Copies of this chain bind each other. A is one copy, B any other.
Amino acid sequence: MSTGKLQTLERGIALLRLVSQSPEGIRINELAEQLGLNRPTAYRIVATLVDQTMVRRLEDGRIVMGVGAYQLGARSSDSIQMLARPVLETLAQATGATAFLSMAEGDTCVVVMTAEPRDAVFNIHYKLGTRHPIDRGAAGIAILAARPETPQDSEDIRFCRANGYSVTKGQLHKGAVGVSSPVQLQDAGLTGLEFSIGVVALEALEITQAAKAVPDAARQLVGALS
């Protein structure tokens, strides 16, 4: 193969992905099978990744993610935030409300980044790192709406799926209104990362306007990340 992709590296990353999807750990045999490699090959990839602290082996041989991967992720979040920053700023300006980027983590929804409008007299300060149950608040609803339909989906979720944005009033805080859209990274071939972007404000929020600006911002972000 002259130019093009490096097979060994591709396999290594693929293996890393598989490990990351197995919080309880995964065995070499299973890795080999799932990736269509033979055992020795999988073994060598694992050995290399262990050496680099990207994965670790538990006492019984199971393989789990390592500190190195965590480190890379922490650093790359900076890079992502650099991209998201302008989108959030614009959104905050356009709507006059506090813009946020949230992310699913298990059954909770975490605030990853926020931007506040420059020239508003009052605005909501949405604390970084705040967690809510994923089924409450506009951000979580938007993320749920991006998942495959289920019969138990709430009214809010179905609304969001149909219209491209969620609206919630007072679900997280009395008097607070939120509008949010999923960041559809699946469209860009990314699965397993669930973000939503949106705005939150006092009841004065102009929903009609936000209902345009928010999905727009979501699309922009997908573009920027792909």
A189 touching B105 by the CB < 8 A rule? no
The interface centre, meaning the residue of A48, A73, A193 with most chain B CB atoms within 10 A of its CB, is A73
B189 touching A53 by the CB < 8 A rule? yes
B73 touching A72 by the CB < 8 A rule? yes
User: Could you say which of B8, B64, B110 contacts A129, with CB atoms under 8 Å apart?
Assistant: B110
A13 touching B52 by the CB < 8 A rule? yes
Query: What B residues does A193 contact at CB under 8 A?
Result: 67, 70-71, 74
With A3-B44, A44-B3, A45-B6 as contacts: A71 and B190 at CB distance below 8 Å = yes
Q: In this assembly, does A139 line the interface, its C-beta being within 8 Å of a C-beta of chain B?
A: no
Query: What B residues does A128 contact at CB under 8 A?
Result: 129, 131
Q: How far is the CA of A58 from the CA of B77 in the complex (A)?
A: 16
Query: What B residues does A48 contact at CB under 8 A?
Result: 5-6, 9-10, 13
Q: Which of the four size classes fits the interface of chain A?
A: 35 or more
A17 touching B72 by the CB < 8 A rule? yes
| Contacting residues of chain A (187-210) with chain B, CB-CB under 8 angstroms | 189-190, 192-193
Task: Looking at the assembled complex, report how far the CB atom of A53 sits from the nearest CB atom of chain B, in whole angstroms.
Answer: 6
B76 touching A69 by the CB < 8 A rule? yes
The interface centre, meaning the residue of A49, A67, A78 with most chain B CB atoms within 10 A of its CB, is A67
User: Could you say which of B4, B49, B105, B130 contacts A9, with CB atoms under 8 Å apart?
Assistant: B49
B69 touching A72 by the CB < 8 A rule? yes
Query: What B residues does A129 contact at CB under 8 A?
Result: 110, 127-131
The interface centre, meaning the residue of A9, A16, A66, A105 with most chain B CB atoms within 10 A of its CB, is A9
Q: In this assembly, does A82 line the interface, its C-beta being within 8 Å of a C-beta of chain B?
A: yes
Query: What B residues does A20 contact at CB under 8 A?
Result: 71-72, 75-76
15 pairs, A vs B, C-beta closer than 8 Å: A4-B44, A5-B48, A6-B45, A6-B48, A7-B8, A9-B9, A10-B51, A12-B13, A13-B54, A64-B79, A64-B82, A65-B79, A70-B193, A72-B72, A74-B105
- A residues at B contact (CB < 8 Å): 3-13, 16-17, 20-21, 23, 44-45, 47-49, 51-54, 56, 64-80, 82, 103, 105, 110, 127-131, 185, 189-190, 192-193, 225
